[in-house]
Amino acid sequence: MSPLHTPSKEHPILVLGSLGQIGTDLVETLRNRYGAEAVISSDKKPLRPEYGRYIQLDALDAAGLEAVIEREGVEQFYHLVALLSATAEKFPDRGWDLNMRSLFIALELAKNGKLKRLFWPSSIAAFGPNSPKTDCPQYTVMDPSTVYGISKLSGELWCDYYHRQYGVDVRSVRYPGLISWKAEPGGGTTDYAVEIFHEALKTNHYTCFLGPDTRLPMMYMDDAIDSTIRIMEAPSEQVRIRTSYNLSAIAFTPAELAAEIARQRPGFAIDYRPDFRQQIADGWPSSISDEAARRDWGHKPRFGMAEMVTDMLEHLRPRYRSGI
């Protein structure tokens, strides 16, 4: 296969699910890096002028996706469509269908030479209750107990299979909970760590759907985007793992996050009303070891919890200025 072109107007990157939490930040960063026209944003919603170069696409419309890729000269594809852990528990068949079928469509396009490089995210949800709780290693017991986790672990194995059998250049990371201010997450178990900031600025109070001591691996979006682009730009031989790389940055509990917010915003208070998401969180590791990602292609997160809290409050404050 001919080598990859630098992303450009003629060979744009396609980001599917671009209006979601990751896509919103990723598209902006990729456009700053390669130019506005070098990135096609695409999602289910109808076009709006502020989306820039945008095509409305359904992740399950294989023919539509193929037509866009051929017509626009797309070589690199970021597949960011999924039902997350909490939503997929409510709609198991929809979660499985969307998460798996959309991945197969992308893998088949790559296998048939329509794409040169594919990014597909996995998650800490691919681990399960019998995986090690702390510093969970790259290779270990994986027994996910959620629909989302099962789809991620299965997807990882399929990525590896397509790489070995058909030479598909697919790259993946297991994201921890992602914290960001540009777009809100939807339907995840780690969403509390974003909601808490909005509520802190609105009412100085948050009722958390996880208990105070539920420690989970987390990462600020800036670091997640940096590593996502890093793995996609790494020479192929450096990407040795083709299932998915553990990715880690910080780990904290709701109580610890609340204490840091209260330090920076006196008077903030939290209480706890755990719901069904507690059980999901309890099945995940509380921290992750990511030596392989650091060694193979230079994963290097910068944000600690305090810097992340400062940055979140600073960026969200203008949105709620009329509040207290």
Task: Return the residue matching tokens 């609340």.
Answer: 258
For residue 151, state whether it binds ligand SER (rule: CB under 6 A): no
Near ligand SER by CB under 6 A: residue from 76, 172, 189, 248: 189
For residue 218, state whether it binds ligand SER (rule: CB under 6 A): no
Q: Which of 51, 78, 148, 162 is catalytic?
A: 148
For residue 270, state whether it binds ligand SER (rule: CB under 6 A): no
Measured over the CA atoms of residue 143, residue 220, residue 106 and residue 57, the dihedral's sign is positive
* SS3 (DSSP) at 85: helix
- DSSP code of 57? -
Nearest to 261 by CA among 323, 319, 313: 313
Near ligand SER by CB under 6 A: residue from 190, 214, 246, 286: 190
Residue whose CB is less far from ligand SER, 177 or 285: 177
Return the structure tokens found at 287: 């921290």
Q: Which of residues 13-72 bind ligand SER (CB under 6 A)?
A: none
Closest contact distance (angstroms) between CB of 313 and ligand SER is 21
**Residue 30 near residue 39, CB atoms below 8 Å:** yes
Kindly indicate which of the ranges 40-48, 184-192, 195-203, 306-314 contains the residues binding ligand SER, using the contact rule CB under 6 A: 184-192
Q: How far from the centroid of its chain's Cα atoms is residue 179's Cα?
A: 10
One symbol per residue from 82 to 111: x for binding ligand SER (CB under 6 A), - otherwise; what is it?
Answer: --xx--------------------------
DSSP alpha helices (H): ranges in 112-138?
none
DSSP alpha helices (H): ranges in the chain?
21-34, 62-72, 85-90, 92-111, 147-166, 192-203, 221-233, 254-264, 277-282, 291-297, 305-316
For residue 125, state whether it binds ligand SER (rule: CB under 6 A): yes
| d(C-alpha 95, C-alpha 148), whole Å | 7
Residue closest to ligand SER (Cβ): 188
Closest contact distance (angstroms) between CB of 196 and ligand SER is 14
Near ligand SER by CB under 6 A: residue from 42, 99, 102, 123: 123
Respond yes or no: is residue 34 known to be catalytic. no
Q: How many CA atoms lie within 13 A of 105 on its CB side?
A: 22
Kindly indicate which of the ranges 122-130, 222-230, 232-240, 304-312 contains the residues binding ligand SER, using the contact rule CB under 6 A: 122-130
- DSSP code of 126? G
Residue whose CB is less far from ligand SER, 7 or 217: 217
Residue whose CB is less far from ligand SER, 162 or 209: 209
Closest contact distance (angstroms) between CB of 229 and ligand SER is 19
**Residue 263 near residue 270, CB atoms below 8 Å:** no
For residue 188, state whether it binds ligand SER (rule: CB under 6 A): yes
CB atoms within 10 A of CB 19: 18
Q: Which residues participate in catalysis according to the annotation?
A: 148
Task: State the residues that interact with ligand SER by CB under 6 A.
Answer: 84-85, 123-125, 148, 175, 177, 188-190
